[in-house]
Amino acid sequence: MIELQGVSKRWPGTAQPAVDDLSLTVPEGTSCALIGPSGCGKTTTLRMVNRLVEPSAGAIRIGGEDALAMDKVALRRRIGYVIQEVGLFPHWTVAENVATVPRLLGWPESRIASRVEEVLGMAGLDPGRFAARRPHQLSGGERQRVGVARALAGDPPVLLMDEPFGAVDPLVRGDLQLEVLRLLRTLGKTVLIVTHDVDEAVRLGDAVAILRAGRLVQHAPAAEILAHPADDFVAGFLGSDRALKRLALIPVTEAPHRPGSAAGPPLPEDATLRDALSEMVARGVRVVPLAGGGCLALDDLLSFASGRPDA
Amino acid sequence: MEAITQGLAWLQANPGRFGETVLDHLLLSLTGLGIGIALALPLGVAVARSAWLAEIAIGGAGLLRTIPSLAVLAALLPWLGVGFTPSVVALALLAIPPVLVNTVTGLNGVDRAARDAAEGLGLTRRQQALQVELPLAAPMIFAGLRISAVQVVSAAALATFIGGGGLGDLVTQGLALLDFGRMLVGAVAIAALALLTEAGLGVLERRVAARVGA
């Protein structure tokens, strides 16, 4: 669990605080996406959690422990850290990079070696192929996977991710996002993610926190924030297609199905309501068949989406 | 042609004397270089983090660089007298600027993301310097070292003016005795040492760069 209470950061010589009296809790095993326009203080907030930036005021607790009272270096070794530019050490192999934190924690060599293999596998990299490579021999996506493996190696309960997929090309990004999300859920990590991309925020964050000029404007589950933006700023930031973004969070399997069949190829099982709507528009029909049997009708889709508790 | 014959003749007649001067020259250069590096490297590491300290260090190094070696030698004379010690001090002063400047620029040129990751993953300040920053700055620092070494080996020829010994002795003695053979041997040896230093350290430098392979 990550708890921020009344946290502020004021840089010397500036009139406005970069982060202003921010309170935010990320419950155990969930993820929260910090989002907002550039300069809103989201990265500063993230960097205060592992004290790369020291807060000017407020309290930060990690797993109930006072992070500001702990030794900085010990604190950071218990927190996974992933950044956009990855920051792999170019003079070390992939295995050595991943072993960074276990080595700092003084694990025995045999345990380090098996842990490196394990986390490389988790991050979708074959240890046999990648362990001995140097960072410059990797693609952008592979590099970011090594970055994730390195962050997970010390088995930290908490992860901080700063624009983790920002440098990966858009084709690879979608898959990588989903894969990492699934991994972090399985491992039960508590994750704070900074992003400027609304789609990424609602996709990766169980909750989304929107910042503006250092203040928290809205903090709610992703679907709720899309359905009920707190004010015009949030609505504008989320974009005019926020209703569609919300549909993209709901799997078709949750909507009520009608028996029988309909024309055209069926929607795959992992499709979302947005996919379903898009198919209806593309095919010019009001009903689409589902791969799992039955079909989904436009009227049902609309009434279900607007009748959900988060609507 | 005649000068070369004279040179070879002198060398043949005085192999011991020649070997001694070369060793003297190397001892003088290595001691000066060693002290210079021992001062410049830690100083560079210490000031690199602070923008204004780094600026002062680089400015100071530039200033030191513009003073001619001979002037430094002459200026040291009243304080340190003549002989080995003042020569070494002058050479050490000469060795400092390239190493200092390259250490500071090398450290500041280290990939910001790698530095951020090192700090964020929980490396101590010392571990960040020793395991990440210095290795990544090594090719640049090594280049500074090569420049210093070549300058020191060349400048050590001037130590003869304050009784520091070395290959410069052969040149000044040859000049005084009108013994052109001796003078030529000294001059050629000085040039050859400088070239060898440049070439040898150049090879090492490329190895270091390949190891870091960023």
Is residue A181 domain-resident?
no
Question: Is B120 close to A134, i.e. CB distance below 8 A?
Answer: no
| Together in a domain, A71 and A163 | yes
Is residue A58 domain-resident?
yes
pLDDT of A53? 94
Is residue A297 domain-resident?
yes
| Together in a domain, A230 and A275 | no
B165-176 mean pLDDT: 88
- B123: which chain A residues are within 8 Å (Cβ-Cβ)? 73, 100, 104
| Together in a domain, A219 and A264 | no
Question: Is B135 close to A91, i.e. CB distance below 8 A?
Answer: yes
Question: Is B121 close to A101, i.e. CB distance below 8 A?
Answer: yes
Q: Cα(B76)–Cα(B90) distance, rounded to whole angstroms?
A: 8
pLDDT of B211? 76
Strands A215-221 vs A287-289: parallel, antiparallel or unpaired: unpaired
pLDDT of B214? 47
Question: Which residues, 6+ apart, have CB-to-CB distance to B162 below 8 Å?
Answer: B73, B74, B76, B77, B82, B83, B86, B87
Question: Which residues, 6+ apart, have CB-to-CB distance to A296 below 8 Å?
Answer: A252, A255, A257, A258, A267, A276, A287, A288, A290
Is residue A144 domain-resident?
no
| Together in a domain, A66 and A164 | yes
Residue A292's domain comprises 250-307
pLDDT band at B213 (very low <50, low <70, confident <90, very high): low
Nearest by CB to residue A104, choosing from B113, B122, B132, is B122
Q: What is this model's ipTM?
A: 0.84
| Together in a domain, A199 and A296 | no
Of A156, A85, A88, which is closest to residue A119 (Cα–Cα)?
A: A156
Q: Cα(B214)–Cα(B206) distance, rounded to whole angstroms?
A: 13
In angstroms, the separation between the Cα of residue B138 and the nearest Cα of chain A is 11
Q: Tokens representing B63?
A: 């200033």
pLDDT band at B208 (very low <50, low <70, confident <90, very high): confident
Who wins on pLDDT, A305 or B124? Answer: B124
| Together in a domain, A7 and A42 | yes
Domains of chain B: 2-7+23-212 (1.10.3720.10)
pLDDT of A292? 81
Any A CB within 8 A of B116 CB: yes
| Together in a domain, A38 and A6 | yes
Is residue A112 domain-resident?
no
User: Chain centroid to CA A94: how far?
Assistant: 24
Size of interface A-B (CB pairs under 8 A): 69
Question: Is A73 close to B117, i.e. CB distance below 8 A?
Answer: no
Is residue A135 domain-resident?
no
CATH number, domain containing residue A193: 3.40.50.300
- B129: which chain A residues are within 8 Å (Cβ-Cβ)? none
* SS (HEC) of B106-117: HHHCCCHHHHHH
Residues of chain A with confidence (pLDDT) below 50: none
| Together in a domain, A259 and A235 | no
pLDDT of A311? 63
* SS (HEC) of B104-157: HHHHHCCCHHHHHHHHHCCCCHHHHHHHHHHHHHHHHHHHHHHHHHHHHHHHHH
Who wins on pLDDT, B66 or B113? Answer: B113
- The alpha-carbon radius of gyration of chain B (Å, integer) is 20
Is residue A118 domain-resident?
no
Q: Tokens representing B185?
A: 């041997």
Task: Count up the domains in chain A and report the number.
Answer: 2
Q: Please give the share of chain B, as a percent, with pLDDT higher than 70.
A: 99
Is residue A286 domain-resident?
yes
Least CA distance to A53: which residue of chain B? B120
- What tens digit of pLDDT does each residue of B56-98 get? 988 988 888 888 877 877 788 888 888 888 889 989 999 999 9
- The alpha-carbon radius of gyration of chain A (Å, integer) is 21
Q: What is the mean pLDDT of chain B?
A: 89
